[in-house]
Each structure stands twice: as C-alpha cells, then as structure tokens.
Amino acid sequence: MYGIIVLVVYTAIMLGATLIFSKKSKDTDNFHVANRKLGMWQAAMSIAATWIWAPALFTSAEKAYSSGIPGLFWFLVPNVACLILFVPFAKKIRERMPEGITLSNFMATQYQSKKVKYAYLGQLSLLSVLSTGVQLLAGGKILSAITGIPFWVMTIILAVIAFSYSQFSGIKASVLTDAIQMILMLLACLIFVPWALSMDGGVSNLLNGLGGISGEFKHLFDGNGISVLLSFGIPTAIGLIAGPFGDQCFWQRAFSIKKGKIGKAFILGALMFAVVPLSMGILGYVAAGSGYVAADTGMVNFELITNLFPKWVMLPFLFMVISGLLSTVDSNLCAMASLTSDFGASMKTAKGSMGVLLLLGIGIANIPGLTVTHLFLFYCTIRATTLLPTAMTLLNKKLSGNGIFYGIISSVVIGLPIFAYGNIAGNALFKTIGSLATVLISGIVALVVSRREAARCQQ
C-alpha cells in the first residue's frame, strides 16, 4: 500500500510542478539547454540529484556494511572529487563552444571527424542506456517487493513516470524536478540518521560497525584495506573520476548554466550530493555494528529501515529512493534527446529518442541475474574510455581525429574485456588491470597515432 501511495503522490507532485512552473518548450535550444540561463542553486540541486543514482543509495550502504571504512571511503571520496575536478573542464568547453549542446558535437567540431563524432555518440548513448537500466532495476526491485506488483511491470511504471514530465519541457523540467527530488532526499536523510543514532545502542553500533559486519575492515591500508582498494577502490575511483567526463548529463548542464555560475554550481552540487551516500553509509555501519544479518547486502539500508523504524517511515524512504533513481532517469532522457541535436533533429525526434532509451533500459533491467553493483562497475568503466581524449583536447593537447577514434576503440576492445572477466570471475587483479587499461589505452593510442600522423605530414 505504501509503495502505491508514494508512486501516485510522487507522480502528482512532479507533473504538477512541471505544468505549473515550467512552460512547454517549443524550440530545441530551450528544450536542450534552457536558453543557457540556469541559476547556481537550481543547477547545483540538479547536479547533485542527477549524480544520486542507485549506487549512491544502495552501494554506499552495502560497502559500509560489508567492507567498513575502506568500502565507504573508496565510494564516497571519488564520488565527490569527480564533480569538483570536472569544474575547469566544464568552464573550458563553455568558453570554446558557447553555443554548444553536446560533448560529441564539440569533439567532432574540434577534429572535423565523423569517426570521432560516432565514437562519442556511441559511448554517451550506451552509458545513458545502462544507467537507465540500473535505476529501473533498483527501483523496480524495491517497489515490487513492497507493492506486490510484478517486477517487470514496475520497471515500466517507473519509466512512464519519468517520461511524463521530462518530455514536457526537457532540461527545464528535469532541473525543476531535480530540485524537488533533492529536497525530498535531504529531508529523508535528516530523519533516518539522527533517529537511528538516537536509539538504544545507536552510536555504539555505529562505532562497532566501522569495520564492517566482520569487524575486519577498520583501516584503509592494512591487508584488508588493500584488498578493498584493489577489488573495489581503484576500479570505482577510475570510473567515478571519469563519470562526468563520459556523461552527457553533465556536459548538458555545463552548457545550460549561466556562464559565470558553472564552477560554483558544480562545487555546491558535490557537497549536497555527499550528504546522501554518507547518510546511507552510516546506516550500513549501524546495521553492521548491531550484528544485523542482511538477506541481501545490496539492500541492507532498506532492510534495516524496515526492521528498525515504525512502518510509516517507509514513506519518506520510498520518496528518497524514487527521487534518487528517477532524477537520474529523467536526466538521462534529456541527455539522450540532446544527442539528437548533433543531427539537427526535430523536437519530435528528440522526444522519440527518449522512448527508445526507456525501452532499452527496461530490457536491461529485466535481464536475469544482473545486480546493481556489477552493472554500476561495468558502465563506470565504459565512461573511462573517453576520459583522456576529452581532457587532453580541452587542455589543448594536439591530437588527430584518427588518434582519438582508434584510442577509444582500443580502450573498448582491450580494456573492457579484461575488466569484464575480472568482474565476472571476482578477480581483483583483473578488475584493477582492466580499469587502468581502459582509461590509459585511449590516451596512449591517441597520442601515438596523432604523433605518427604529424611526423608523416612533416616528411
């Protein structure tokens, strides 16, 4: 019953706010980048909400519960740092292409290369599809368990809700609803954490749980801490640092924010974001310190809240979950729609691409055996394929279109299979090697090919 109430109320709030406060977009520039007039606060809340995806809500608690201090550290710190590191690059792309909309078009324009354009379009589109799939997977799993509605039906319901307001005014609807979603998430955190700590044994459970459920993970760089670093920390850090660089959602916001507010918006957004995974991590520590044995470690915060608090507290938790998941889904929808601008597509085509994205996301969410954490690590690595070529281009490093293209392809062909094997086999060494190979190969190959082409031109 709680789940159905939350879904109905949530949909009414988001649709109502969109219809009342956001005018329907009639041109693509308004639909994709809000005429480049987003203010600092609304942009910051949108950045934070967009970055709060399924892993921020669940992986943070899972890693705190299972891997103690190093588990949460290697999830939280790179998550915050990446948004701050992105700031100078967001400013540079806006300076070099003031009227831009997409990263793919910027890179294609810089190198006058269709190969570069399609390589970036492929990476950005695939990321949007996988990201949407993991949000629907996590949301559908929880809401199906609560409402009794079949999982596959719930993934469709969530997709329809996100589409209903996103297609109305594009990025403006996404930013408006993101702000509301962020407020709901922060309010939920202010309820759960103080309440959990104020209960009998709350603080002592937190302190006892800092080492995880086994009590063996209290330090970053002892034997157990190093094992977390290799199996989770390095792959996660690489994927997260690459996150904004390989995600059109954030380039789209860089093009949409008022020019003088870009840096402040991203830094403020990073700080707002940190509150949510830190809060969920604290719940993970409390669960571990109390000796709670989770039926599903990936949902340990959900289980703890179900068992620790009165039943009505499930309402704010579900609002937080839906807000966190659908804020990323609606941002993905707008990002996918903006990519159609590379071809001068109409509003109808842009909205059609949103529908295609949701169909693919629903399909991925319903693949048997997939977990949130595994899918998260996989698409984090995909984002890393374009990190170095993008950063080097914005830092005015001389590269060629062929160098960029072959660098990205090499990264995908060599790095991703190594990482996928490590992930499937649970091999920490291969996970680390795969992550490093994915991010480094694209840059190395791009430099080597570009220099060879330059040398041939000089002969």
Residue among 169, 171, 139 nearest 155 (CA): 139
Residue 2 is predicted with a pLDDT of 64
Cβ-count burial 240-258 (b if 16+ within 10 Å, e if not): bbbbbbbbbbbbbbbbbbe
Q: What share of the chain is helix, strand, coil (3-state, %, to 5)?
A: 85, 0, 15
3-class DSSP assignment, residue 239: helix
Residue 322 is predicted with a pLDDT of 87
Say which amino acid occupies 152. W
Rounded to an integer, what distance in angstroms lies between the CA atom of residue 290 and that of residue 285?
Answer: 8
Residue 459 is predicted with a pLDDT of 65
Under 8 Å between Cβ of 143 and 149: yes
Tokens found for residue 193: 């954490």
CATH 1.20.1730.10 fits 2-371, yes or no: yes
Under 8 Å between Cβ of 422 and 428: yes
Residue 271 is predicted with a pLDDT of 95
Rounded to an integer, what distance in angstroms lies between the CA atom of residue 178 and that of residue 156?
Answer: 21
The pLDDT averaged over each successive group of 10 residues in the chain (459 residues) is 79 87 78 91 94 83 94 94 96 95 95 94 92 88 85 93 86 90 91 89 91 90 88 83 90 94 96 95 93 86 85 85 88 94 89 94 88 70 89 92 94 87 78 86 94 80
